[in-house]
Amino acid sequence: MGEYKICKRCIMDTTSDPNLILDENGVCNYCHDFDAVAKKMEYKKQQGTKYLESVFNKIKEDGKGKEYDCLLGISGGVDSSYLAYLAKQYGLRVLAVHVDAGWNSELAVQNIQSMCSKLGYDLHTVVIDWPTMKELQRAYMFSGMAKVDVPQDHCFVAATNHMIKKFHTKYVLRGDNYATEGILSKAYQYPAGDWINIKGIYKQCGRGKISLKKYPHENFFKRYISIGEWKSVTIVRPLDYIDYSKKMAIETLEREFGWKYYGGKHYESRFTKFFQETYLPQRYGWDKRRDHISSLIVGGEMTREEGLREMATPPSTEQEMEEEKDYVLKKLDITEEEWKKILTLPYKTEKDYPNSENLYQFCRKVKHIFIRDK
pLDDT in tens, 75-122: 999 999 999 999 999 999 999 999 999 999 888 899 999 999 999 999
Q: Of 34, 15, 46, 14, nearest to 298 (Cα)?
A: 34
pLDDT tens, residue by residue, 141-154: 999 999 999 999 99
Q: What is the mean pLDDT of the chain?
A: 90
Structural domain includes residue 153: yes
pTM comes to 0.89
Q: Tell whether 4 is covered by a domain.
A: no
* pLDDT reading at 226 higher than 80: no
> Does residue 228 have a pLDDT over 50?
no
Query: What is the side-by-side strand order in the sheet with 94-100?
Result: 122-127, 94-100, 70-73, 171-173, 234-236
Q: Is position 216 within any domain?
A: yes
pLDDT of res. 229:
46
Residues 226-243, mean pLDDT to the nearest whole number: 75
Residue 43, φ and ψ in degrees, nearest 5: -65, -40
Average pLDDT over residues 280-298: 93
Instruction: Read off the pLDDT of residues 360-372 as tens digits, 9 standing for 90 and up.
Output: 777 767 655 554 4
Task: Report the run of H or E that residue 125 belongs to, with start and end.
Answer: strand 122-127
Q: Quickly count: other Cβ atoms within 10 Å of residue 104's Cβ.
A: 21
DSSP 8-state symbol, 13: B
Number of domains in the chain: 1
Residue 174 near residue 1, CB atoms below 8 Å: no
Q: Is residue 9 part of a domain?
A: no
In a domain, 160, yes or no: yes
Nearest residue to 224 via CA among 187, 200, 195: 195
What does the alpha-carbon distance between residue 264 and residue 308 come to, in Å, rounded to a whole number? 16
* 295: enclosing H helix or E strand: helix 289-298
Question: Which band of pLDDT confidence, cut at 50, 70 and 90, is reported for residue 46?
Answer: confident
* pLDDT for 38: 85
- Which residue type does 285 have? G
Could you tell me how many residues make up the chain?
374
Which domain, by its residues, includes 341? 31-370
